[in-house]
Amino acid sequence: MRRPFVQGMLDGVPIALGYLSVSFGFGILAVRLGLPVLAAVGISFTNLTSAGQAAGVEIIAAAGTLLEMALTQFVINLRYALMGFSLSQKLDATFTTPRRLLVSFGITDEIYAVAISQPGLLTATYMMGLIVTPVLGWSLGTFLGAAAGELLPTAVSNAMGLVLYGMFIAIIIPPARKDRRVLFVVALAAACSVVFRYLLPMVSGGFAVILSALAASLAGAWLFPIEEEAMT
Work out how close the CB of 3 gets to other proteins at its nearest, in angstroms, rounded to a whole number. 23
Site string for other proteins, 17-46 (x = CB under 8 A): xx--xx------------xx--x--xx--x
Work out how close the CB of 1 gets to other proteins at its nearest, in angstroms, rounded to a whole number. 23
8 A C-beta contact, residue 37 and residue 31: yes
Interface with other proteins by CB under 8 A: which range of 2-10, 118-126, 143-151, 220-228? 220-228
Q: Would you say 202 or 230 has its CB closer to other proteins?
A: 230
Q: Would you say 4 or 186 has its CB closer to other proteins?
A: 186
Interface with other proteins by CB under 8 A: which range of 66-74, 118-126, 128-136, 143-151? 66-74
Q: Would you say 6 or 223 has its CB closer to other proteins?
A: 223
Nearest to 26 by CA among 44, 10, 11, 13: 44
54 binds other proteins (CB under 8 A): no
Q: Would you say 3 or 201 has its CB closer to other proteins?
A: 201
Q: Which of residues 89-128 bind other proteins (CB under 8 A)?
A: 89, 97, 100-101, 103-105, 107, 109-110, 112-113, 116
Work out how close the CB of 213 gets to other proteins at its nearest, in angstroms, rounded to a whole number. 4
Q: From residue 94, give the alpha-carbon distance in Å to each of 91, 123, 226.
A: 8, 6, 26
201 binds other proteins (CB under 8 A): no
Q: Would you say 4 or 24 has its CB closer to other proteins?
A: 24
